[in-house]
Each structure stands twice: as C-alpha cells, then as structure tokens.
Structure 1
Amino acid sequence: MKWLGKFVMRFPKGIILVVLAITLFFGYYIPDVKFNNDAGDFIPPTDPDRLFDEETQELFGNDDVIYIGLVVDNVYEPQVLTKIAELTTLLEEVEGVESVDSLASIKNIEGTEEGMEVYPFVDEDELPETDEDAQRVREQIHKWEVLVNNLVSDDGKATTIAIKLEPNAPVPDQEKVYHEVRRIVEEYKEQGESYHFSGGSTINVLLGVYMLDDLKRLLPIAFIVVALLLYLSFRTLNGVLLPLINVGIAVIWTIGSMAFLKVPLSLPCTAIPVILIAVGSAYAIHVIHDYYDEVQHGLGKETAFLSCFNKIGIAVIMAGLTTVAGFGTLATSDVIPLKDFGIFVAFGTFASLVLSLTFVPAVLYLEKLPEASKKHEKNGKGNVVERFAKAFRKTEVSIAMRNRKATLIVAAALLLIAIIGASLVYVDDNGIAYFRKGTELRNDDAVLTKFFGGTHLYSVIIEGPEDDSMKEPIILKNMEALQKHIQTTFPFIGKTMSLADYIKKMNMAMNENQEEFYTIPAVEDPNSRELVAQYLLLYSMSGDPGDFDDVVDYNYKKARLVILAKDGSTIQTQKVVNEIYAFAKANFPQEYSVRVTGSAYLPLVMDAHVVKGQIRSIISSLIAVWLLTSIIFRSFGGGFFTIIPLSLAVLINFAIMGFLKIPLEIGTSIVSNAAIGIGVDYSIHFLTRFRYEMLTRKLPQTNEGYFKAAFATATTSGQAILYNAIAVAAGFLVMIFSTFMPLVRLGGLVACIMFTTSAGSVILLPVLLSYLKPKFITKALPGTTNAAEMPAPAN
C-alpha cells in the first residue's frame, strides 16, 4: 500500500479540492431530499397480498382513514351534536376526502306505516334543539348495537369521525388532507373538548413528521458524543475534527446521492446519518492512531506515512469493504426501505473509507506534527485514557492466553446459552408501537382504543360464484356467525360490521322496530332471499344504495366484513387470520372464497418478507465476509477465523432478543448485518497486526510466540479496536433518543454487539490461533515479499 501513501504525499491539495468539489455537488441536492412515510411500501409492490389490498380499496374504499375521536362530558347535547354536523360538512368539502362517517352521515333505519325510513342520526336540516331531541338520538343509537362503541362510546362521552380518503391515495395527498383536517378541528375546538387522531393516514403523516424531528435531534447528539470520545482518545484537535469532518462529508455524499437519484428517506434510512457517524469514523481513527503512533516513536513524516499505509492500509480497506458487504447484502431484501437502507449505508461506508485513505491523510500531511505527539515523544507517556486502554488490553489478553482452556470453556458456555436464547426469538410487528410511548400519536390511539372498538382494521372479503350471491340468507347468517365467533374468541376484537348488520336492522324496522326481529330472515323460509331483496329495494327508495359501498359491491357478488381490533400485534393477527380461515372452511359453501386483507393484516405480510430477508442477508453477509477476508489473508482458513467472533456475536444478539423478549421486526432485522459488517473490522485488524508481529519479530509458532504476538497486538491494534468499539457503540446508542422504537432497539443491540465482537476478536482469536496454529498466520502480507521488507514494529 506504499503507492497510496506516495500518491497522497504527491497530491494532497488536489485531493482536498476534488473532495470539496464532490461535496458541493451532492450538497446542492440535499434540500431536494424527500421522505417516504408510506407504511405500505414495506411490502414489495408486486406482492399478491399488497395487490389484493389495493384492489379491495378500489372496490370498498380506503382503509387508511383519519380517525378523530371527540371526547366531551356528554356527546348527546344539542350543541355537541350540532358541532358534529358542522364539522362533518366542512370535512366532506376537503379536497381528497371521499366520505366522512359520523353521527351526521351514518343513517338510521326505522320502520314506518309507509314502509322504511332512512335518515342521518343527526340531520343538518333538522338539528336537535332540545335535550329531548338529543336523547332521542341516544335511544336510536343504542337500538343498533353495531354502532355502540363504534360510532359513539357506550357511556356517551366520546364519538368518532372517520375520514375516508380517495382509494390508494399517495402520501403527499394524505398529508394535505391531514393538515387541513387539523386546521379545521383546531378552529372549531372549544373548552372542555379534546380531539384525538389515529388511523392509517394519521400514522403515515406523523411518521414523516417524527422522522424529520429525529434527524434534527439525533445528528447533533451523535456528533457531540463521537467528538467527546475522540477527544478522550487523541487529545488533539485533528484527532477530533478529522474523523468528524470525514463522516460529515460522507453523510453529505450519501444523502445528496439519494436526493440526486430521487430515492426517498424511509424509516430505516433516517438512521443512515447516525450510523455513518458511528461507523465511518472508525477508518479515520485507525489511520490517525497509527500515524500518530509512528510519529510518536521517532519516525519522520514521510517515513511515518509509508509505514502507516504499509501496516494498516490493506487492513483498513478490507475492513471497509467487508462492512460495505455486510450492509450491502440488504440490497437482496424484498422490502424496499430495507433495500434502500442497505445500498446507501454501503455507499456511505465506502465513501468514508475512501475519504479516510485520501482526504484524511492529505490533511495530516499538510499539517505540522501535532504538539501532543512531540510531548509524548519526549516523556514516553500517553494520556490517561490511552494508558488505561493499554493496561486493559494487556490484562484481558494475558488472562485469556494464560488460561486458554478456561477461555474456551467460557466461550462454549456462551455459545450454548446463546443458542438457547436465540431459540426464544419471535417475530412481531405493530405499526402504532413503532412510536415511543408518550408521543402524541400513542396517547391519542390509547384514548380511541379505550372508548371504541379499536383502530386496527381487518377486511374479510367474501366472494360468491355469481351476482347477488351476497343476498343469500345462509351467507348472511355465516357472516353474522363469523362476526360473533371472532368477537367471542378474541377479547381484543372490539367491533365487527358487515352487510348482515344492515339486513338485521332492516328486518327489525319492517317488523315494527321490535328488537327480537334484529335477525337475518329465516334461512329455512323459501321466500327469505326474496325478502332480503325487497328490504334492499325499500332502502334504495328512502336512502342511498351507495351507503353499502364499504360492505358490498354493486353486483352483490363480493362482500366485505370489517373487523376492528384493539391490539395490532402480528402475533395476535396471525391467530385471528387462522381462525377466520378455519371458520370459513368449515361453514361457507365451497364455491365461496374468503380472503383476509386490510391495514391490520398487511404487517403480517411484511413480517414474512422481513424474516425471509433476514435469513438470506445473514447467510449472504457471512459468505461475502468470508470470501473477502480469505482474499486478504490468502487463505480460506484465514477467512474462517474472522467470522468466528461474528457468528458468536450474531447468536448472542439473538439470545439477548430472546431473553429480553425483543421482537424481530423492521429495526432489529438490520442488527445482524451491522454486527457482521462492522464487527468483522475488529477481526481483520487484530489478525493483520498479529501476523505482522509474528513475521517482523520472527516469533516461533509456540505458545510463547503466540503470547508475545497477542500481547503486542493488544497494545497496538487492540487499543485502536477498543477506541473504535466504544465510538461505534456510543454512536449507535444515540438512537435510544429516537421517537421510533425499532431504531431504539437497533441502537441498543448494535452497541452490545460492538463489545462482544471486539472482545471476541482480542480474547478468543489468539487462543484459537495458539491451539490450531494455522499456516496463513506466517504467510507474507499482501504487498510485501518477505518479512525483511516490513518496517520494524514501533515497540
């Protein structure tokens, strides 16, 4: 790697100017960056379940509604009912709104002497003026059980306004509608009233708001934390500024390239800047640390440069490339946000690597020797942190190498515990639980869940063999039975609704509004189907046939059964789905098909893609890392040694998740790639320096020789590994301040893994090497022909 050092020394100013020009180019596009806060994009656009859901929305209306919960002392007061009617009218006029369901739009069905009367519970043309008028509304609501705790809470203290957007509305349209709705509500809000927002569209919009807030809050914290650690490590201005400038430029290149290529920032991608600050600083740390180390031991600037590049150049390059490979394998994911995340983290990491080997050395070459280095040269001492780090590494390596059997026994025990813990890992997802407790959205959703049937919606689509199939009383009976079965089986199912509820209400209305007739016409009656058809005809004369659009299609061939749940966990969702299909198979005629979709069901589909992608990316990451490290060590065995600490660390990660009951979801699915991509750096640096010590010192392949090599490596590269692990862990820990729980878990788990991989590299690898004595450890390093060509070790 001497050629790279010579290149930097020859064109330092040119390198800096080129970097500046590229940075200005990408920086120009950063203001154009967009956010992708559409939760639906976590499922591939060609997925059959996603396509079916889009078709369902076109037919029955948008699932991604904006729920508004109005909480007051008593909904059934004339002034409150009047306000609901006024708000409904205003909200229906908002561009992008297809319909609004509220007390002022949902219609009551009542029998009269003339037949059937259909009218809104609160008619804007005949608004209630007295308490008696309001009380009649209450009485009518409670005569139709499907509306209690759905439209109005049982205690009368809350009511919902459900705003349905145009089918499959893009997120920008959802944002416009949401903000206009909020504006209208704020204008009408009075003392004693509280409004609470939830629903799919609300989640999509606030996802974008919170993502931007996260970036504004976490980036400065990440820079400050890493800067503090760098100062404690180097105690020089360049030691702090150069790694930060390095990663700052890499962040600009990465986010700018996303904007240039019109790739939006999704939830995982918002973590990219913080990850690059944590990861990208590592390469600069190794370069600066080794350069200072050479200078502090008496080498001149040019000699120090060449020695630095010769010793760690290949190791830094391979460490960077393996990290690129670790994250890059996420590009194989079917989940578009994860694919984008993998590609651009890999790009940013590669940019950090290139900058660390060109831009950082160019700046170092142009500066005078740092004062701290001269002082160190005189007194032979480092700062307190450096002395502690050396002592720590000496101690742990000495203990491990002098107690090799005990070390392996402990490692084997950890492996066994990790396997047990990993077996406890479970897959779960819950869109509302992405947001940290205490956020406005979580609080609002909790209020709506308390008063109503829930905000997680399933759509059960029933399709018959021909038109008017849904008018069959037996099918209506089966719908009703399915609704009752699901609500009885699962306490977290709050409400269900289908065409059967309308038919039961019509039957009751046409039988003098007697509650005992709130049933489906008798199946055994040969005239029952004709009776159902007559009810629907009578309804169309007084009401609007379009009132049923969200539960049945125009030809009555397809029907939609709506299920509202208070729990959005995909574990619970899977149970509900299994029960629906089992019931349908046992009760619906064979020629009828039943299929589940809806906003509560789709996260279950996403989980399948996440799990499949997780397995594929872990395997491909380990293979890619093994091949790349085999190249650097010119030995498949050498590559195998590098993935030993990684494999153990990945298992420990899953064990932590299993024992702490942390689910595998969109955030934690990234952890293993981070562990492999970043953690392999420590193995590479340790093995490279270990082999360097063995060859330059001409140490024998004995236990004593391996001990000396391990001891020397621990106080040089081992020290840089410790700094690196702490810096990376601290950078990732910044994510615990995120609004999003997947990123909180990602940050905490990766921080843990940095310590397990770094410790495994420094403790476990030398023990294994001393036992197995692989041949690759005495082969000449890449770029040299024999040990005589290598510079002598610094100490």
Structure 2
Amino acid sequence: MQLLSSEDLEALYVIAEQMSGKEGLRLQKLLPKEVKDLNDMFWMEFEEMRETLENEGRWFPEWNSLLRNIEVRYAPVVEVTSISNTDDIYGSEEGLTIEKIFEVIPGTPGEMKSLRRRVLENDLFRNSFFSEDGRRTGIFVELAMDEDDSEILYSTYIALERIFEENPGIDKHYIAGFPIVAATLRTVIDQDTQRFFPFVALLAVFFLWLTFRRPSGVAVPMLVVGFSILFTLAIMVVFEVPLNTITSALPVFLISIGVADGIHMFSEYRENRIEGLPREKAVCLMLDKLALPVTMTSITTAVGFLSLTVSDIVPIFTFGIFVAVGTLLAMVLSLIFIPALLMVLPEKVSASQEGSGTDENLSSGVHQVNFMDRLFQKSLDVMTAWVLRNARPVLLAALAISAISIYGLSQVKVESSLESYFQADAPLVIANRAMEKMSGSHTINIVITKSGEEEPWKNPDNLKVVEEFQEFLANEPRVKRTLSLVDLIKRISYAFNENRKEFNRLPNGFEFLESEEIFEENGQTEKRTVKREISGRDLIAQYLVLYENSGGDVLSDVVDSEYLNLNLAVTISSNSTTEEEKLLQSIEDYAVRQFPQGFSMTSSGMVPINVATSNEVVTSQIRSLSGSILAVFLMLALIFRSVSRGLMGMIPLVFTVLFNFGVMGFFGVHLDIGTALVSSIVIGIGVDYSIHYLSSMFHELAVGTELHDAISNTVRRSGKAITSNAVTVGFGFLALSVSEFLPLVTLSWMIWLTLNISALATMILIPALAVTLTDVLKLVPSQND
C-alpha cells in the first residue's frame, strides 16, 4: 500500500533542481514520469546519492522533514500481523517448533474446525487474533507515521477502506485505532469549518437587523468582525498552527465576541442621533462614553480566554491564545473603523426630509424609535421597576439559587470518552464497539522492574509475582487480556514437554528433566529414563535460547535484552475514564500491597493518557477559573477605582458560573474538554455586560442624576445593547450545534443559556445591590453640577 501523490513527485523534482553537480542531474534522470513508478530500486539509488551528499557536506537539512513524509507515504505500513502470518509454538518430533499456523488456507469444514480449535486453545491468541466466541478475527497493522500526523493517518484510513471496497467479501469489517480517529476528526473539522462560518454569520446578520433595522447597523459590526477573523487566521497560518476540533470553532467565537463591541457602539450612536445630535457630534460622544468600556471589556475578555492557557491540553491552550488575539484585534478595529464607517456610510432619509438641508434636522428622522424599540424598552423598564421595588427578595432568591447551584456543582462528574464525542452511528463509534467485543480497545503497558538482581526476569520466583499480578488483573471486569513474558515461557514449556497441559506453567525453583538415554553394560545397550535436576532459572534460560534459535521473534515485545524491564500489556474494554481511573488505582494499590521489596512499576499507553487528560481538564478548569475570576476582579477594581465596585461587577459573573455548574450537575452534563471552556468563556464575555452597565450608571451618577433615575437611564441606554448582545452572541454560539463533534454541541447550548443568564443577572442583581447597599457602595449622585 502506498499513499504517494503527484505532489510528492513534484517535491522530488524540486529537490533535484536544488542539488548541485552530477547528483542533481542523476536524480532528474532517475525520477519517473508517473508517481506509481517510484519503486524500491529508485529509493536504493536515491539513498546512495544522499549518503554521498551528506559526506561532502552538500545535503540541505531542510530536505529531511520533506523526505521523511514522502518516505512514510511510500511505505506507510511497517508490519501486518494476523492469523494468516502469525507464529504458533508447539511441540513436534523435532522438538520445539515455531511456524505459521497455516501455510494453505483451509478448504474444508473439518480443516476450519481444526484450525479454530488450535487457535482457541492457544492462550497467546485468545482475545487477540480471535474473540473468545471464535466469530471475530483481527488484522493488526503497525504504521510508520507518528500518531499525531492526522493528514497521513487520514490518507491511510481512506486507502484501507479502498482495499476493502476493491476486495468485497461476505464478512463485515471495521477499522479501529488511530487512523479512524484521525479520519473522523478530519472529516468533522472539514465539515464544521464549512458549516460554522456561514451559519453564524447569517444568525449575526439576522439579529443585527432585528435590533437596528438599518443596513449600516448590520454592515458596520460585520465588517469589523470579518477583518478580525481574517487577521487571526492569517496569524495562525504564519505560526503554522493547525485547525483542530476546538480551534475549528474560532470563527464562531470571533463573530460572536467581535460583534458585541459593534452592537454597543452603534446602539450608543443611534441613541445620540435619535436625540437630534449631528453625525460628527454623535460619533464623538459615542467614543467619549464607550472608548474606555470597549477597551476594558475587550481586555477582560482576552484575559478570560488567556486563562485557558494554563491547560496542558494543546487544543485548549491554542484556542485560548487565538480567541484572545482575535478579541484584541476586534477591539482595535472597532475603535478605529466603526467611527470612520459611521462618518462615511450614507444614511437613507425620506423624501420629505431631504429638503431640510442640515444634518441636525435629518438626525432624528434617520434614526427613529420604532414599535419594537418601544415594546422592548417598556419590558426592560417594567422589569427594572419591579427589581427596584423588590430588591431584598431578589437578592435572597439569588442566594438561594446559588446555594442550590453549589449542591449541583457537587454532583458534577468528570468524564472523557472518545465514543461519547460522536453520534452513535459514526464509523468511529461502530468500529470501536466491534473492537470492544473482540479484544478491547484500550491498552495499559505496565513496565515492571526488579532491582538488586542480575537478569531478574529469568528467575521463576520473580515471574510468579507477575503471574499472580496477571491473575488479579484477569478478575477485573473490564480487563479482556494480559500478555507478558510469563505467558511466553508457559507456552514454551507446554510445547517443550510434548504439548502436555500440565506443563503449561512456569518452572519451579528446581525441576527434574526426564530424558531417555542409552547405556551400555556387559556388551549390551539399554534405554533408561534419566532424571536430572536443574534450577528453574537455568531452565528458563534454556527455554528462551531454544525459542530464539527456533525463529521466535516476539521476545523483545515482552522484555528488554538485559532482562531488566518486563512489559505487561493489558487490554481493556472501557469507554469511561472514571472506570479507567478506578482500574489504574486498583493496579497501583495492588502493587503497593503485594509486590515484594525491590519491585516497581510504571504505566503507559492509551488508558493512562485518557485518565491524565481527564484529570488535566479538572485541574486546568480550577486554574483557569480561579485565574480569570481574580484577573477580571482586579481589572474591574482598577477600572472603577474601587474594590467594592469591582466586587459589585463580579457578583453577576460568579452567580452565572455557579448557575452553569448547577445546570451541569442536575442535568448530568459531564465536565470534559468542551464543557471545561464554558465558565472561562462566560466570564470573558459576561464581564462586558457588567462593565457597560456600571460605566453607564456611574456616568449618570457623576452628572448628578438621582440613583433610581440613574438606573432607569442606564437601562434605557445600555439595557437594550446588553440584551441584544446576549441574544446575538448566544444564538451565534448555537451555530456550534450543527457540529458532529458532540462536545461542541453541548458547549453551544450551555454558552447560549449562561450568556443570557449573565445578561439577566447583570440587569437584575446590579440594580438590586445598588439600592440595597447604597451607602456601602457609595452610590451618591455628584453635587458638582
């Protein structure tokens, strides 16, 4: 199987042109016209040229990575192992025999039955090449590429599927492992990037039009957002940051976040125009009032997302960085281009207004309050009036909801399962389930060492410790199979002793070997059975020498060449990191309790990786959440020059975060790589609402407005912008619900819910706090005016 393409052949021609001297000309002549003609002979001659150039110092190091990829695509498969080419160990008249299970495919039912019995009786094959019921068999393909090379893995999966299509049979086949994971993720990323951007853009346009009912109200924010996305993706390209399942959602986040500044700025500009101000004056007042809040909200949003960089999970780390970068770019573009666009974009006026001749006379006619504006504003006024009348009960209700949410938080479970990330009918899920039934789909590689002894894994006493360990593991519900040097030695012992089942065991400390020898006495020969004592260590050493001399080649899979490190492979059937963590803990506890002095072990493989990733989700959530809350509080305290006012701005955010975890706990939403993002996102975006609301309210108080009137004016000028922002941004995130990557689907509705809760909490809790703790917060109108 080859994965070479015409691009690879073109790359080789480029290298030939860059080579100097006769080697370059030789390579050009050697290169074929068709990529299919790149054969072993070509690569042998190419390797000779490479050695010559390296010895002469004329080989460019930058060619290495390119050639590595080409060579991997030329020979992507290292080894294929199946029942058709694996070796069986058994005893024969010649002694220990190691050969393929069959040379010729069985052609009769009797031959098939004999083969099946032979395979199922071999402990080395059980739940590996065959399932226990004998209905499933496995073909194991060792690949040459790195496990994180998703592009080549994807090509490998497509090539394997093509082989099955070209050679159809009556049996079903399933492809599991990294190629199918890479293929599924690659497909999801491609589909998501094609779906997300147009869908969320249409949603943003729709809600902007619903809010402002003017082309400029749509065009101004969308232009800013479009350029911020373009610049952010360009930066990713420059730094060679690939899209993954998380960063593929970047356009959704940047549209949803970037449009927020435009909503606030255009809303303020529109209010100024409705009040009759000319265009230039309206723009200047807009900047005077919103330049600082827009700057601060963008910085705090960026800080919220940068808190995700404390995670060791690379997709979350890169996501946090580039959302923060995009947010700051959107801020700069908003402060520069929105005022400029508002000054130059034409404003449609009616024919009756065109004759008035002045911008001042046109302003109120161009931007008029429509029925929807009045209805929306009336609803906000009614809500605010009710909050001001019932401030204490509102705060008590918020405390009660927070207490209930804290209980829900205690019920949140951490779970990270690859199968749960996709729909039940996804090829990955179907293949994974088939693999579970046959041999399990996750592995733990346990390396056991014994100090203070030379070649400890030839000592039967040490091996019996491992055997007992394997017996313990076999009783664990999720363990499908274990394999170690112990199993290999037991099989050799069985074969060496004429395939007698009683010898399918480890040697004891001392053994008696029986052999028939010929003795001559008084001119007569006689056969006698002779017993010789041999130590178990020496017998094991002889077994292993005999095994290698007979052609055995799997010894290096179970022990190193110095017999210091024994590898125990454990295959399990599990799709739950909670269960996997319990199993790992059970293994650790057993080692502490049962391993003799001098024994130690380390675990690696997919299961420890899954558990470590799951635990990292929790620790990074705690770090990022703590960091973002602290950073945002400090920013608010600096912005409003008051610790108490900073705390006032934090209360809606903390309430929303608790509400988020409460929802997760009560509705059984697990904390995973997707939901771990929600709290930091809500803090990063929700702080905008607090800043805009408090900035407007403090501005009203600064000009001498009485507190209740200041709150009413704040709701009139900022309430609609906050609500429109939450609705637009929230529905923008709902675009993620079209993804086939289920964590993004969960992320979409949770962000939609929590953003709207955050907006409501801002417009309910802040005024309730203001009228309840007026003296504490020093919310007294200024007497300067």
Structure 2 residues without counterparts, runs of 5 or longer: 1-71, 354-361, 512-533
Change (3 A) 1:354 1:372: farther
Equivalent residue, structure 1, for 2:611: 604
**1:188 shift after superposition:** 4.2
Q: TM-score if structure 1 supplies the norm length? A: 0.81
Equivalent residue, structure 1, for 2:751: 750
Q: Within 5 A, what are the aligned runs for 1:367-766?
A: 367-371=345-349, 377-378=364-365, 382-450=369-437, 452-465=438-451, 466-489=453-476, 491-522=477-508, 525=511, 527-544=535-552, 546-696=553-703, 698-700=704-706, 706-766=707-767
Change (3 A) 1:587 1:725: same
Change (3 A) 1:304 1:142: same
Equivalent residue, structure 2, for 1:102: 82
Equivalent residue, structure 2, for 1:190: 168
For the residue of structure 2 that corresponds to 1:159, the secondary structure is coil
More moved, 360-369 vs 253-262: 360-369
Contact 1:111 1:513 in 2 (8 A): yes
Question: Which letter maps to 2:247?
Answer: C
Q: Within 5 A, what are the aligned runs for 1:26-37?
A: none
Contact 2:76 2:145 in 1 (8 A): no
Per-residue CA deviation, residues 6-29 of structure 1 (Å, 9 max, x unaligned), is xxxxxxxxxxxxxxxxxxxxxxxx
Equivalent residue, structure 1, for 2:111: 133
More moved, 731-740 vs 513-522: 513-522
For residues 189 and 469 of structure 1, what CA distance do their matches in structure 2 show? 49
For residues 172 and 229 of structure 1, what CA distance do their matches in structure 2 show? 38
Determine which of 224, 227, 230 is the counterpart of 1:249: 227
Contact 1:178 1:202 in 2 (8 A): no
**1:520 shift after superposition:** 2.3
Change (3 A) 1:155 1:380: same
**1:624 shift after superposition:** 1.6
For the residue of structure 2 that corresponds to 1:671, the secondary structure is helix
For residues 638 and 372 of structure 1, what CA distance do their matches in structure 2 show? 46
Question: Which letter maps to 1:570?
Answer: T
For the residue of structure 1 that corresponds to 2:508, the secondary structure is coil
Per-residue CA deviation, residues 135-163 of structure 1 (Å, 9 max, x unaligned), is 22211111114423321123433211111
Contact 2:302 2:684 in 1 (8 A): yes
For residues 767 and 757 of structure 2, what CA distance do their matches in structure 1 show? 15
More moved, 253-262 vs 559-568: 559-568
Change (3 A) 1:236 1:391: same
Change (3 A) 1:587 1:393: same
Q: Within 5 A, what are the aligned runs for 1:304-383?
A: 304-371=282-349, 377-378=364-365, 382-383=369-370
Equivalent residue, structure 1, for 2:19: none
For residues 405 and 204 of structure 1, what CA distance do their matches in structure 2 show? 55
**1:779 shift after superposition:** 8.0
For the residue of structure 1 that corresponds to 2:387, the secondary structure is helix
**1:593 shift after superposition:** 1.4
Change (3 A) 1:193 1:249: farther
Per-residue CA deviation, residues 97-125 of structure 1 (Å, 9 max, x unaligned), is 332221123221111122111122243xx
For residues 274 and 207 of structure 1, what CA distance do their matches in structure 2 show? 18
**1:732 shift after superposition:** 1.3
For the residue of structure 1 that corresponds to 2:566, the secondary structure is strand
Question: Which letter maps to 2:409?
Answer: A
For the residue of structure 2 that corresponds to 1:764, the secondary structure is helix
Question: Which letter maps to 1:699?
Answer: T
For residues 382 and 515 of structure 1, what CA distance do their matches in structure 2 show? 92
Contact 2:129 2:137 in 1 (8 A): yes
Aligned length, in residue pairs: 681
- Asked whether 1:202 is paired with 2:180, we answer yes
Contact 1:327 1:345 in 2 (8 A): yes
Per-residue CA deviation, residues 127-186 of structure 1 (Å, 9 max, x unaligned), is 334333332221111111442332112343321111122485551585277246425533
**1:267 shift after superposition:** 2.9
- Asked whether 1:158 is paired with 2:136, we answer yes
Per-residue CA deviation, residues 636-664 of structure 1 (Å, 9 max, x unaligned), is 22211111111111111111122222222
Q: Which has the larger radius of gyration?
A: 2
For residues 465 and 349 of structure 2, what CA distance do their matches in structure 1 show? 84
Q: TM-score if structure 2 supplies the norm length? A: 0.82
Question: Which letter maps to 1:413?
Answer: A
Equivalent residue, structure 2, for 1:89: none
For residues 495 and 537 of structure 1, what CA distance do their matches in structure 2 show? 26
**1:410 shift after superposition:** 0.5
For residues 198 and 151 of structure 2, what CA distance do their matches in structure 1 show? 32
Contact 1:97 1:177 in 2 (8 A): no
For residues 544 and 331 of structure 2, what CA distance do their matches in structure 1 show? 70
For residues 460 and 167 of structure 1, what CA distance do their matches in structure 2 show? 24
Equivalent residue, structure 2, for 1:21: none
Equivalent residue, structure 2, for 1:225: 203
Contact 2:150 2:186 in 1 (8 A): no
For residues 488 and 632 of structure 2, what CA distance do their matches in structure 1 show? 61
Change (3 A) 1:426 1:219: same
Q: Within 5 A, what are the aligned runs for 1:230-241?
A: 230-241=208-219
Change (3 A) 1:441 1:176: closer
Contact 1:478 1:588 in 2 (8 A): yes
For residues 661 and 222 of structure 1, what CA distance do their matches in structure 2 show? 28
Please report the RMSD computed on the Cα atoms of aligned residues, expressed in angstroms: 2.6
Contact 2:380 2:719 in 1 (8 A): yes
Change (3 A) 1:203 1:372: farther
Per-residue CA deviation, residues 292-349 of structure 1 (Å, 9 max, x unaligned), is 2211221110111112112222222211111111112223333333222111110101
For the residue of structure 2 that corresponds to 1:601, the secondary structure is helix
Equivalent residue, structure 2, for 1:117: 97
Equivalent residue, structure 1, for 2:54: none
**1:588 shift after superposition:** 2.6
For residues 241 and 405 of structure 2, what CA distance do their matches in structure 1 show? 38
For residues 426 and 372 of structure 1, what CA distance do their matches in structure 2 show? 60
Per-residue CA deviation, residues 342-400 of structure 1 (Å, 9 max, x unaligned), is 11110101111111222122122101224599899459963454334223312221221
For the residue of structure 2 that corresponds to 1:195, the secondary structure is coil
For the residue of structure 2 that corresponds to 1:219, the secondary structure is helix
More moved, 187-196 vs 365-374: 365-374
For residues 460 and 376 of structure 2, what CA distance do their matches in structure 1 show? 78
**1:440 shift after superposition:** 1.6
For the residue of structure 2 that corresponds to 1:194, the secondary structure is coil
For residues 276 and 425 of structure 2, what CA distance do their matches in structure 1 show? 57
Contact 1:635 1:776 in 2 (8 A): no
Identity over aligned pairs, percent: 31
Structure 1 residues without counterparts, runs of 5 or longer: 1-91, 701-705, 781-785, 789-795
**1:93 shift after superposition:** 11
For the residue of structure 2 that corresponds to 1:672, the secondary structure is helix
Per-residue CA deviation, residues 567-625 of structure 1 (Å, 9 max, x unaligned), is 13221121111111222223332212111110121122223333222222222212221
Contact 1:453 1:493 in 2 (8 A): no
For the residue of structure 1 that corresponds to 2:650, the secondary structure is helix
Question: Which letter maps to 2:423?
Answer: R
Change (3 A) 1:499 1:205: farther
